[in-house]
Structure 1
Amino acid sequence: MKLNKLVVALAAAGAVTSLSPVVLAQNGAIEEVVVSGIRSSLETSAAIKRNSGEVVESITAEDVGKLPDPNVAETLTRIPGVQGYRYGGEGASPVGEGSGLTVRGLSGQTASRLNGRTYFTAGGREFNIESAIPGMIAGIDVFKNPSAKHVEGGIGGLINIRTRRPFDLDERVISGSATARYNDFVGEVKPEVFGLYSERWDLEGGGELGFLFAGTQQKSHNRSDSTPSNTGASLRRAVRADSAEYAGLSAADQSYAGRTDIWRLVDAKAGDNPSDLIATTSQNAHVFQEDIKRDRRGFNTAVQWAPHDDFELYVEGNYNYYKYEQDYRFLIMSDSRTVQDLQTELFDTTEAWVDRNANGGENEVLAQHALTSGTFLDSTFNAQSGKEDRPYETWLVATGFDWNVSDRLNVKTDISYVKADQTQDNRSVTLRPKAGNTWDITRNLKGSPHNISIAGPSVADAGNFVFFDYGNGTNQVFDDSGYAIQTDFEYKLDGFFNALLFGARFATQESNYHNYSYGGRALTTDGLPLRADQSNAISAADFAQLTELAPRDWVRNKTDFAGGYLVVKPSVLHGSAVRDSFPLAGIQANGSLAENVTSRRWAQEDTLAAYVMGEFATENERVRGNIGVRVIDADVSTRAMVIDASGGTSQIVAQNASTSNVDVLPSLNITIDLQDDLLLRFGYSKGITRPNLGAISPTISVDQTTGKGGAGNPNLKPLEADSYDISLERYFSPTSYAAIAVFNKDIDGFINSVESCETVSIAPAYTGVIDNYCSGGQYMISRQMNSESGYARGVELSAQTFFDFLPGIWSNFGVSGSYTHVKTENPILREGRIVNVPQAFQSDDSYSVAGMYENGGLSARVVYTWRSDFILFGVAATPAVGRYIKAYGVLDASVNYDLSDNYKLTLTASNLTDSAPSRYVGEPGAVTTGFQNQYYVNGRNFSVGISASF
């Protein structure tokens, strides 16, 4: 253990650098900034930006409370360099992982902090910021190039959420609010309530005691309708029904032979002429309807005791609960190959698009047409419904002190504990058409969304469907915890260096993962898989109490097909209703699920960090800054459960691994006052992002038939980045400024999947007949490796002002805005070649523009946020199977009115343009296409609330 090292380190070092809502004055002193009104919030953010010794952007409590955002993830997209992801009508993290934010072109690379402390969601290193509620927050800081005093962990940047403490408020504050939220697509109102009590007492002898408690609950119900379709080139050749070739096709329906309006689509083969081939990309669009319900709850409490002005002791706690609940109703299409009235258009399917021109030769055209419309005769589909519950809980408790030992020496110590849990439970039931039922599905791919019409038996009639199977496809539990002890010293000096800061921190994080997923439980008369003739089928009509119809206004009736199809009710899937109705299916009872032991993993990471940093300034303080270095020693222990077949019989055994790593992270920040109102900044720092604990599991599995396998990599190293910043800032008034920043991050250690021949100790030598391109009984093993270098670089523009210089009513208006241009290079290994592609979730261009009004008790904002195309989730093997989100913008607005000194009315509207992040096939840049992969409708959100403060 490193705890012994820590005792030695703390003897020479000390405390947490509190990221509190303060502003550094020109002389290095700390100025508290009181926020009241939009003007004051602009003044606060400008002061923080101007006087900070680092590259930082901040949003104050006034901003957080007055922006029309249901969560903090959306609020942060107002900051230059920050891009957000929306899903289900709100700012969200991709599939519930990470923060969902891209900072300066890097996603999944931000460090999450709560009051300066490490804060994470179970299963990862980042905090799922979509779960945070604006009402609970005092402010947010985004450090884009953190100095040595900050806890390491994110090459993209550091996001610090600040909560309230009693000494930050007046002697007594009692406040509360009630809000009603409405989504116009769902047509349902959901509540939000918030309450805060804070009290400060003067004690005998001059001391002071403070107590604060704040609690909140917010519910929302959004809807997400979409049209997911196939990716890939899917090259076909059309054979008309009146041809001799058609008559010779065994799979073709010969009842159509001789017709000139019918074609059979056959797979392309070597030697086909490109002029005869058709790309059927995005042809097979499905019908998806999802209800997305979110429940956010939390509380924050703090006690502060200051027996005198030079010492403060505190205890505080924070609880965050977030439940993501998704009820889905899918009609999963399976188009036939028989097409009536087939229509195509000219489109060149190239090697670059299909396989990144893997052969390295000329970028040849493989097909010259793309399908645009047709009726797919005798098609079929499955009706699948499901319910996913994903509750998250994160607790943080902390205690510490802040002691001015003398006029020169300050000591801070902080001890914290984090407990985080996450459960993912996704269950579904599939219905299949009754034997003999088929439908004619007409598609037109030229519109947005693709038009779909369905002709055939009623999709609402339970007699036309039978039960197929039940699955619990995702049932996993993450159980993480960690604690940290941190102590810092600050010693004031005379001369060019005016302060020396140094400190040490020991932290440990433990992660446990368990998997209980299973599937394939047949819902039939005998519990066996559904037979082809459906002789063991159970009609959906026999269990009418389990079924319902999907909504009849799918995608706001923008296609000929409007929904209303039969599905099993999502609401019955997490109870025992399906299990009780199908006793032969073998559905496991809740609370007694069998664990998939080979998926179990455990990891523990211990880190010991120490830093030293000097703050400096010239005599007139026109040049000032800091220089420092942070050194981190990390020890990681991991364990996985694997199948050991080396002795001839298979048994599950534990496989352990341990690694150590030392990182040295220097930093330098310099600010120069070119004029009293004109600043030039330079910043440099080295940062790291450690791989997720799940990625370094020592798991390994092989297939003795194919001679291939996959493995984790406990030896993965952190990504490293050398970050450079240069910015110029001009301040016109306390509320007005304009700034330009240029940044560059040189990144080393990007992770790629690499295949290599290995001898596997837990498996017998490979003797299969399939050539795996290895010899000596070795297996071809795929594992992630640190490999190539890349970059993220760009420019940021930002400005804000109120028009105080204009006469009359015009002086009540103001504007603010930001623009970011960023380019990234993310090298990936494909077909043995390194291919440079952008980072996932990174838009080349994004901007946010706000118009503001404030006069007396009335204030209002209108905000438009836009971003260009970006890759979804991760870079695909080829652009043809990749997906990107096309450029889109969102318009939000809010109005606040002071009913009296104590009461305030708030109105908000989010996504007034009813925009949604629709998906397309390809990659941004040279391989974008017009193939719409998934059109979305999410609806608009409105709220009305009243708050009181005394």
Structure 2
Amino acid sequence: MNNKASFKLSHLTYAILAGLLSSNVSAASELQAQESVEVIEVRGIRASTEKSLNTKRFADGVVDSITAQDIGKLPDVTIADSLQRVPGIQIRRNAGEGATINVRGMPQVTTLLNGEQFLSAGSLTKVQPDFTDIPSSLVGAMNVMKSPTADTLAGGISGTVDLQTRKPFDLAEGFTGAASIEAARGSYSKETDPKAMIFAGYNADSFAVLATVSKDEVTLANYRLGATNHGWVGAPQESGNCWYCPQADMNGDGDTNDAEYTYVSYGMVNRFTERERTGANISFQADVSENLELSADVFYTKMDDADRQRGLMADNAWGGHWQWQDQHDPIDRGDILASGHRLYTAQDITLNAPRVVAHSESHTNERQSTNYNVELVYKGTGAFSGKARFITADASRSHTENVAQGYLTNGLAHGLRRNEGNGPIAVNPNGYGPDTIAMRFNFKGEHAMLLPPATLQGETFGSNLSRYSVTSTYSENNYDEDASLDIVRLDGEYEFDHAHLNKMTFGVRFGERDISRDQYVLLAPLNNPVGDGSVNVMWKDQGLAAFDTDGSGGTPSASAGDLTMGYDNLITFSSLPEGWVQPVSDFGPISIDSIYFIDPKQLDDPFAFQNKFYPGNMRGTVPGSSYKVTEQTQSVYWRSDFSGENYRANIGFQYIKTDLEIVQNIIGDSICTSCPGSVAEDAGDIITDKSFSDFLPSLNLSVNLSEDVVYRAAWGKTMTKLDLEQIAGGLRISRTRAGEDLAAREGISPDLLIATNATMQGNPDLNPWRAQNTDMAIEWYFSPSAMVSLGIFNIKLDSFIESSIWTQPMADADGVVRREVSVNGLINGQGGTMSGAEFSYQQAFDFLPGVWSGLGAAFNYTYSDSESGRIDLNGDALPLEDNSKESANAVLWYEKSGFQFRLAANYRAKRLAEISVPYGMSDTAIWTEPTTYIDISASYDVQDNFTVFMSGSNLTEEYETNYAQWKDNRISQNIYERRLTFGVRGRW
């Protein structure tokens, strides 16, 4: 790959920096001594509420704030969980923990660290981090800025979140220390998870230092019930020309004018996520002179995690077996398909499954990031002040995926055979068969259930270990990512002695972000029985023929007697090492008779596992999913602040020039047999250089209608940085085994891997999201700890990025183009709106008598309506993805005599999870049903500086249910657990 020139400062930068520093030094001797600043210590719910309201009241724009209740103690367990209490913020969960956020229904949210960009290893290509990376104890406060100001780094369409760490000079003079130890346990995981935090700081008046270190381990239950992949879906017709359409009367009504909505695979997945997190923050501040202050910070995060799953899955084996459903009590959805067929759905289905597998899978990540910040601040008694800031960061992530499929079926029901040289036999000789297995998928109750037959062939289904064999194993979607970030920023401020004009703020900024990604699969060399040497194989699928041993010269076919992959290596469960196989009956709220699975922990190391059975595995490059991007930005801003007897205002602009160098790879010749076409030689680079500029004006006005009532109005243009993966990824073609039916129709081998669909992962021609934002609000602060506010907002999207589907010819694995397939990719959409209103109320009831004066409450509600310009299967307009039209929070708290209690509820209305385009259908909306999460926390100060505490998250074991198009067409569920935490916290 081509390497971009390293980051260099321009001559202008050097001139400004030299001028700023020289003026600082010359003015130093003329400054008077600074006035001492009172340190306000925030402890407790009431104190943090008052500080947050104070921040909001005197903010320069539309801002909401969250302040830690004590050192290392945000209101909730995770950063994202705390952010969801802010009006207009909705969160997405990963294994039950808050991972990403939306502001006013949009995920295009910039997250800053102490006012500037930083690197998060879990989300290197985006402007929003993965919040699961960051221990919450490292953060002291969070500001959510919903209206832009000229001096705030642009990058978010709907808002910007600024994570603020504690500063040493904010501590009381002398030594400050704090520590906490806690243990958490999940209702499903049954593991006791430790967490520890220690904080130490010293403020010597002229210099100060602090350090925070956090370490925790968690095991999170995260079950999946129902359709295993929302993209593997179709509407097979009773008659048609598509490769997946059966030529039969599927529902027995005497005609062939119907179609059934069906998924390729249904299952129940036992899934647990283990995370080990380490975080550290070190900060130093010193008065270099009377006028100069030096700050330095290091912010470090490291997380190793493994997502391990064991799933009982029934599927139609893809090729030609789409007539596998017997729908009970089907619902007639009408004549809504372009083909003219009537569509039927059902919640109770008998699956005549040609394949049933005990699926084991492990995804692992090793990710870490280090962000450095050095800042020199000039603060004097004159009109001018300023600061110079330098940031550098690096981050890396290594990701692996490893799969082992244990067949329970013998494979004959879908024509899958193995050949060890003596003719074709069942791929899993001892498995159930040769007929399909009648599995019952029922979603009429509270939870989705996949129920196998109680007995089969004279035994309890799944109870006989000798029935199982590892018929398929592979490792794909592995990648290594590295990123670096360098920023130089110069800011100045000039104050005016004027009746209305207070000051002007201005600055320049230069930044460079580099990211590279190398994706690979694991290839094993297998001996070539019909030639010299060996062939490299990714899908070690023992039913897939690859060697032409009958001398026909045609495409190999197990049915014709050709040798199959792993033909000499039958891997039965009973032959695996002791401890590798485990019986599992736990699927969250559903329990069935035990099924045997390979322990997914054995799959954490893909090389070790694959080499156990197929020695000599090596990396196989995936050029289309590997890339390098260099992003350089140059920006300048100017802002003027005004104030009068009853108003404050700021007006300004930010100008940003962005230069991108995108290095994609040309996909060369294939380097393997039985693997995706994307696994190939790197045949060179495609280098795209693009530039664009944004001029972003902004205006914020705050008017004091009375002593306690504030009116706000704001307008500004916003843009968000491009997700670098969305512009740099390549083309990925999905292929699957043709199967007997299609082979007969098209005269090809049933083992040929045929193109079914494709994904264009990157589009270098994409432009950023751009919008115009308008806000108005009125806020009434009727006590230091009470407020009620009402605001309205409108986000007019000038351009945005959306998924699109088109068809184009794609070659099968033999290089022959036989059909057009659907291609999913990203394009720029034009237009779209997001508008709504926010209501917020907070109050401490300190006017009540006696013990009741410790009560307090908070409530907020957000209405956010959006239009994406797309319509669903019924012709109804669709909103922007992941937006809930309504969301709300309610909090009841109590604080008195050292006792604290907090009960919080978060509600989110249904959201558009994704837009699916099933085979044979048009845009189909996948919705997630409304959810309400209940959390609790309590603490007691045994002594002034020693506290015992507990917390509970997701007390009601809330789960997420997804449905396709119609509310009574539920398709899947994500099951999360209740978590209880107990701990002690001390300070000195």
User: What is the TM-score of this pair, normalised by structure 1?
Assistant: 0.83
Query: Aligned partners of 1:142, 1:344: CA distance in 2, in Å?
Result: 49
Asked if the contact 1:67–1:894 (Cα under 8 Å) also holds between the matched residues in 2, the reply is no
| Residue 913 (structure 1) aligned with residue 937 (structure 2) | no
Specify the code of the residue in structure 2 equivalent to 1:856. Answer: S
Q: 1:770 to 1:185 in 2, by over 3 A?
A: closer
- For the residues of structure 1 that align with 2:394 and 2:330, how far apart are their CA atoms? 57
Moved more, 539-548 or 312-321: 539-548
The 2-side partners of 1:395 and 1:737 are apart by 39
Amino acid at match of 1:627: I
Please tell me whether the aligned partners of residues 229 and 286 of structure 1 are also in contact (alpha carbons under 8 angstroms): yes
Counterpart AA for 1:937? I
Q: Rate the CA distance shift 1:856–1:781 in 2: closer, same or farther, 3 A.
A: closer
Q: Which residue of 2 aligns with 1:887?
A: 930
Q: Which residue of 2 aligns with 1:635?
A: 659
- Please state how far the C-alpha of 1:936 moved relative to its aligned partner: 3.0
Deviations along 1:716-771, whole A, 9 cap, x unmatched? 222111000000111110000000110001111223467999999xx9xxx99869
Q: Secondary structure at the match of 2:619?
A: coil
Which residue in the other structure is 1:21 paired with?
Answer: none
Task: State the distance in 2 between where 1:64 and 1:821 align.
Answer: 34
Equivalences for residues 516-665 of structure 1 within 5 A:
516-518=520-522, 520-522=538-540, 537-545=570-578, 547-557=580-590, 562=592, 564-575=594-605, 577-582=608-613, 585=614, 588=617, 593-618=619-644, 620=645, 622-643=646-667, 652-665=683-696
Q: How does 1:745-784 map to 2 (within 5 A)?
A: 745-752=795-802, 784=826
Contact 1:14 1:504 in 2 (8 A): no
Q: Alignment partner of 1:69: what SS?
A: coil
Tell me the CA shift for residue 377 of structure 1: 5.3
Structure 1 contact 192–218 (Cα < 8 Å) conserved: yes
CA contact (8 A) 2:270 2:586 kept: no
Q: CA contact under 8 A between 2:700 and 2:712: conserved in structure 1?
A: yes
Per-residue CA deviations over 1:403-425 (Å, capped at 9, x if unaligned) read: 11443211111100011111211
Give the letter for the 2:718 counterpart: G
**Aligned position for 1:848:** 889
> Which residue in the other structure is 2:845 paired with?
803
Q: 1:416 to 1:664 in 2, by over 3 A?
A: same
- 1:573-611 residue CA offsets vs partner (Å, 9 max, x unmatched): 2345534531xx3562xxx52433443211111111111
Task: Return closer, same or farther for 1:425/1:64 CA change in 2, 3 Å cut-off.
Answer: farther
Shift of 1:809: 2.2
Q: Please tell me the residue identity of whatever aligns with 1:917.
A: E
1:446 corresponding residue in structure 2: 444
Q: Distance in 1 between matches of 2:448 and 2:40?
A: 53
Measured against aligned partners, the alpha-carbon deviations of 1:866-910 in whole angstroms (never above 9, x if no partner) come to 101112255657677542210010100000110111211110001
Q: In the alignment, what sits opposite 1:318?
A: 299
1:543-598 CA distance string (max 9 Å, x none): 153632353232233xxx5252111111112345534531xx3562xxx5243344
Q: Indicate the larger mover: 607-616 or 715-724.
A: 715-724
SS in 2 for 1:47: helix
TM-score (norm 2): 0.80
Q: Structure 1's 710 and 440: CA in aligned 2 closer, same or farther, altered over 3 A? A: closer
2:892 and 2:732 map into 1 onto residues whose CA distance is 57
For the 8 Å contact 2:768–2:801, the answer to whether it is kept is no
- Once the two structures are overlaid, the 10-residue window that deviates more, 728-737 or 305-314, is 305-314
Residues in 2 aligned to 1:130 and 1:852: alpha-carbon distance in whole angstroms: 26
C-alpha RMSD of the superposition: 3.8
Of 505, 508, 514, the match for 2:509: 505
| TM-fit CA distance, 1:808 | 2.4
Equivalent in the alignment of 2:776:
726
Which residue of 1 is the match for residue 947 of structure 2? 904
Amino acid at match of 1:946: V
Give the secondary-structure state (helix, strand or coil) at the position aligned to 1:291: strand
Residue 103 of structure 1 aligns with an amino acid whose one-letter code is: V
Count of aligned pairs between the two proteins: 858
| 2:420 aligned partner | none
Provide the C-alpha distance between the structure 1 equivalents of 2:976 and 2:75, rounded to a whole number of angstroms. Answer: 17
The residue that corresponds to 1:128 in the other structure is 130
Tell me the distance in 2 between the aligned counterparts of 1:518 and 1:311: 56
Distance 1:12 1:806 in 2: 59
Contact 1:235/1:268 (8 A) holds in 2: no
Q: How does 1:409-424 map to 2 (within 5 A)?
A: 409-424=384-399
Q: Are positions 1:673 and 2:680 aligned together?
A: no
Asked whether 1:298 is paired with 2:279, we answer yes
Tell me how far 1:786 sits from its aligned partner.
2.5
Out of 207, 210, 220, the position equivalent to 2:208 is 210
Give the distance between the partners of 1:798 and 1:64, measured in 2 at CA. 26
- C-alpha distance in 2 between matches for 1:920 and 1:413: 53
**Secondary structure at the residue paired with 1:265?**
coil
Deviation at 1:711, TM superposition (A): 8.0
CA distance in 1, matches of 2:126, 2:760: 21
Gaps of 5+ in 2: 1-6, 22-35, 240-244, 409-427, 524-537, 548-556, 670-679, 735-753
In structure 1, C-alpha distance between the alignment counterparts of 2:593 and 2:651, rounded to whole Å: 62
Residue in 2 aligned with 1:7? 13
Q: Residue deviations 1:189-236, cap 9 Å, x none?
A: 01000011111225xxxxx11111110011111112221327656356
Segments of structure 1 that go 5 or more residues without pairing to the other structure are: 16-28, 93-99, 203-207, 239-248, 253-263, 774-779, 923-927
- Number of the residue aligned with 2:101: 101
* Distance in 2 between residues matched to 1:365 and 1:378, nearest whole Å: 24
Does residue 868 (structure 1) correspond to residue 867 (structure 2)? The answer is no
Query: Is the Cα–Cα contact under 8 Å of residues 629 and 665 in structure 1 kept in the other structure?
Result: yes
| Residues 14 and 867 of structure 1, relative CA distance in 2, 3 Å threshold | farther
In 1, Cα distance between equivalents of 2:81 and 2:864: 20
Flag the 1:785–1:918 CA change in 2: closer, same or farther, 3 A: closer
Label 1:891 to 1:10 Cα distance change in 2 as closer, same or farther (>3 A): same
2:469 corresponds to 1:466: yes
Q: CA deviation at 1:374?
A: 5.1
Q: Distance in 2 between matches of 1:783 and 1:184?
A: 40
Q: Distance in 2 between matches of 1:948 and 1:701?
A: 54
SS where residue 75 of structure 1 aligns? helix
Q: Does 1:38 align with 2:45?
A: yes
Report deviation, 1:660: 1.5
Aligned equivalents of 1:698 and 1:846: distance in 2? 34
Aligned CA distance change for structure 1 residues 567 and 726 (closer, same or farther; 3 Å): same
Measured at CA, do residues 818 and 710 of structure 1 come closer, stay the same or move farther in structure 2, by a change above 3 Å?
closer
Kindly tell me: are residues 9 and 147 of structure 1, through their superposed partners in 2, closer, same or farther at Cα, counting changes over 3 Å? farther
Structure 1 residue 460, shift from structure 2 partner: 3.8
> Partner residue of 2:204?
201
Q: Residue type of the partner of 1:941?
A: R
1: CA distance between counterparts of 2:881 and 2:800?
13
In structure 2, give the amino acid aligned to 1:612: W
Letter of the aligned partner of 1:300 in structure 2?
N
**Contact residue 306 and residue 312 of structure 1 kept, 8 A:** yes
C-alpha separation in 1, matches of 2:274 and 2:681: 44
- The structure-2 alpha-carbon separation of the partners of 1:671 and 1:489, relative to structure 1 and needing over 3 Å to count, comes to same
1: CA distance, partners of 2:983 / 2:683: 57
Counterpart AA for 1:854 = E
SS for the counterpart of 2:868 is: strand
Residue 303 of structure 1, CA deviation: 1.2
Q: Which amino acid letter does the alignment assign opposite residue 163 of structure 1?
A: T
Match of 1:744 in 2: 794
Structure 1 stretch displaced more, 938-947 or 802-811: 802-811
Distance 1:754 1:341, change over 3 A: closer
Number of the residue aligned with 2:519: 515
**Which residue number in structure 1 is paired with residue 218 of structure 2?**
220
Counterpart of 2:978, as a letter, is: R
Kindly tell me: are residues 68 and 189 of structure 1, through their superposed partners in 2, closer, same or farther at Cα, counting changes over 3 Å?
farther
In structure 2, which of residues 973, 980, 983 is the aligned counterpart of residue 935 of structure 1?
973
The corresponding residue for 1:90 is 97
Deviation of residue 39 (structure 1)? Answer: 1.2
Distance 1:334 1:124, change over 3 A: same
Say whether 1:330 aligns with 2:311.
yes
Of residues 527-536 and 118-127 in structure 1, the stretch that sits farther from structure 2 once superposed is: 527-536
Identity of aligned residues (%): 23
In structure 2, the residue matched to 1:140 is 142
